[in-house]
């Protein structure tokens, strides 16, 4: 069993998070995990956008983008 903790946020933030979780059919914890993962992916994408890549790298990125896209649709 995972340990849990309390995080203090504004009621508006909590309610917004709850709405997102309900829309996605997941728990608050799962929604937070999804949002954290999405932010990490956004940051990786931002870092990659500043790098010059060759055709081989582009092929790998395209395959990775397909995997991420498929995962996001789940």
pLDDT tens digits, 42-53 = 999 899 888 888
Domain membership flag for residue 59: yes
Structural domain of residue 46, as residue ranges? 11-72
Give the span between the Cα atoms of 51 and 30, in whole angstroms: 32
**Residue 74 or residue 62, greater confidence:** 62
Domain membership flag for residue 5: no
Token pair 């999405």 is at which residue?
Answer: 38
> What pLDDT, on a 0 to 100 scale, did the predictor assign at position 64?
86
pTM: 0.65
Mean predicted lDDT score pLDDT of the chain = 90
> What pLDDT, on a 0 to 100 scale, did the predictor assign at position 21?
97
Domain membership flag for residue 53: yes
Domain membership flag for residue 4: no
Cα 67 → chain centroid: 14
Q: How many domains does the chain have?
A: 1
Domain membership flag for residue 44: yes
> What pLDDT, on a 0 to 100 scale, did the predictor assign at position 8?
95
Domain membership flag for residue 43: yes
Token pair 């309390």 is at which residue?
Answer: 6
Q: What is the mean pLDDT of the segment spanning 14-25?
A: 97
Domain membership flag for residue 3: no
């Amino acid at each position: 069993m995972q340990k849990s903790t309390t995080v203090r946020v504004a009621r508006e933030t909590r309610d917004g998070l709850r709405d997102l979780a309900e829309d996605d059919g997941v728990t608050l914890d799962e929604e937070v995990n999804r949002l954290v993962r999405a932010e990490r992916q956004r940051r990786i994408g931002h870092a990659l956008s500043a790098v010059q890549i060759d055709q081989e790298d582009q092929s790998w990125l395209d395959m990775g983008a397909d995997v991420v896209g498929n995962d996001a649709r789940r």
